[in-house]
Amino acid sequence: MLPEEFFTPGSSSFIRFLTAHRPDLLITESLPPEVRVADGELPHGTTVLALTYRDGVLIAGDRRATRGNLIAQRDLEKVHPTDDHTAVAFAGTVGLAVDMVKLYQVELTHFEKVEGTSMTLNAKANRLAGMVRQNLGQAMQGMVVVPMLVGYDTDAPDGPRGRIFSFDVTGGPYEKRDFHAEGSGSPFARGALKKLFRADMPRREAALAALHALYDAADDDSATGGPDLGRRIFPTVSVITGDGYERLSEAETEELSREMVEQRHRRPDGPTAAP
């Protein structure tokens, strides 16, 4: 038998439901004020990126997590679908980030079941912004989570429907045009995307551009992992179009990664900008 609170009318927000009835299950409880987590004590995820392309939006991430100067995990999943037409990638404290993504997935599903319809993409961005804001206390104590939200806006008028949102630690949402990257390797990834991005790229070209950007990030940032050909660990690459979310298969990602690495053997600095 379910407890009485499950049958009490209330908000369509699952987070508000937990706040009212089981706040201990939320991830927003801060450490005591005098406690601060030192850099390097917890696993951190690093570079994730997104770019729009001809059919929608692509999101990708490397697979490395670090603990200080050590590699904590080589095959971390940083890109997660949150519903049929949105996905989240994260950089920052891995444990909190994974819990935030799971809670956000439930939040969107709960809203859709209660309201009978899904949120607009703007509402999804604002809802995630609120979750990031609730983590501010922990962020100030060294446990920062920086998510990136991408989606295919099914309600948008004619024109580009792939959209990208970033957030600061206070929960401020910012819509980004064309491409964006987060994490320690993001300056190098954005530099690569600046020269490779074209709005009309087909999926394959967009995926190669993302892989080149992650390669450049790994080349200059020790916390970002490049394609591991020996262990066959490759970046996560997913796309969202009008047909929904799709993660590129391991076989396709491996083929594209090996092609990209071969190109870098011939041209170590990567492809040049299109004229």
Which residues participate in catalysis according to the annotation? 46
End-to-end Cα distance, the chain: 66
Sheet holding 48-53, edge to edge: 179-182, 48-53, 56-61, 236-241, 244-247
Angle subtended by helix axes 250-266 and 203-220, to nearest 10? 60
Please say whether the beta carbons of 74 and 64 come within 8 A: yes
Q: Tell me how far CA of residue 245 lies from CA of 117, 186, 248, 270, in angstroms.
A: 18, 24, 10, 29
Please say whether the beta carbons of 139 and 151 come within 8 A: no
Please say whether the beta carbons of 76 and 45 come within 8 A: yes
Nearest-angstrom CA–CA distance, 109 and 13: 10
Please say whether the beta carbons of 219 and 201 come within 8 A: no
Tokens representing residue 273 in the block: 């900008």
